[in-house]
Amino acid sequence: MNSEFELIRYDQNLPARIEMQQGSVNTPYHWHKEIELVYVMEGDVRIKINTRDRVLHADEFVLMNSAENHSISSENAKCLILDISYEFAEQFDASLYSSVFRIAGGSGAEEELHNLLWQLSRTMNETEQPGLRQFSVITDILHVLFVQCRYENTGAVRDEEQVRSRHIKLATEYMEHHFREEIAENEVAKMLGLHPIYLSALFKETTGMPFRDYLLKIRLEHAMDALQNKHMSIEDAAKAGGFPSKRTFIAKCKRVYHITPFQLMKQKRQGGE
Write the DSSP string, 138-182: HHHHHHHHHHHSEEE-TT----HHHHHHHHHHHHHHHHHHHTTS-
For the chain, the average pLDDT equals: 88
Question: Mean pLDDT throughout 170-188?
Answer: 89
* Shared-domain flag, residues 78 and 173: no
Taken in order 252, 253, 257, 258, is the CA torsion positive or negative? negative
Domain boundary among 152, 174, 199: 152
What are the pLDDT digits (tens) for 89-138? 988 987 787 789 999 888 899 999 999 999 999 999 877 778 999 999 99
Q: What is the DSSP secondary structure assignment for residue 128, as one 8-state letter?
A: S
Under 8 Å CB-to-CB from 143, ≥6 apart: which residues?
none
* Shared-domain flag, residues 129 and 28: yes
- Domain ranges, residue 178: 160-209
**Residue 29 vs residue 138, higher pLDDT:** 138
Q: What is the DSSP secondary structure assignment for residue 23, as one 8-state letter?
A: E
* Shared-domain flag, residues 66 and 181: no
Question: Mean pLDDT throughout 147-161?
Answer: 72
Which of the residue ranges 77-91, 181-195, 211-225 would you say has the lowest mean pLDDT?
Answer: 181-195
219, 178 Cβ separation under 8 angstroms: no
* Shared-domain flag, residues 19 and 65: yes
Residue 33 has pLDDT above 90, yes or no: no
For residue 1, what pLDDT band results from cuts at 50, 70 and 90? Answer: low
Residue 143 has pLDDT above 50, yes or no: yes
What are the pLDDT digits (tens) for 210-227? 999 999 999 999 999 899
Summary count for the chain: helices (H), strands (E): 10, 9
Domain boundary among 129, 152, 175: 152
Q: What is the DSSP secondary structure assignment for residue 95, as one 8-state letter?
A: G
Question: Mean pLDDT throughout 51-64?
Answer: 95
If one counts the domains in the chain, the total is: 3
Which pLDDT does position 64 carry in this prediction?
Answer: 95
* Shared-domain flag, residues 82 and 121: yes
Which pLDDT does position 82 carry in this prediction?
Answer: 97
Indicate the SS3 state at residue 76: strand
Which pLDDT does position 155 carry in this prediction?
Answer: 61
Nearest CA-CA partner of 118 in 101, 144, 137, 146: 137
What are the pLDDT digits (tens) for 122-131? 999 877 778 9
* Shared-domain flag, residues 12 and 143: yes
Count of positions (residues) in the chain:
273
Which pLDDT does position 272 carry in this prediction?
Answer: 45
Number of C-alpha atoms within 13 angstroms, CB side, residue 188? 26
pTM of the model: 0.65
Q: Give me the CATH number covering residue 140.
A: 2.60.120.280
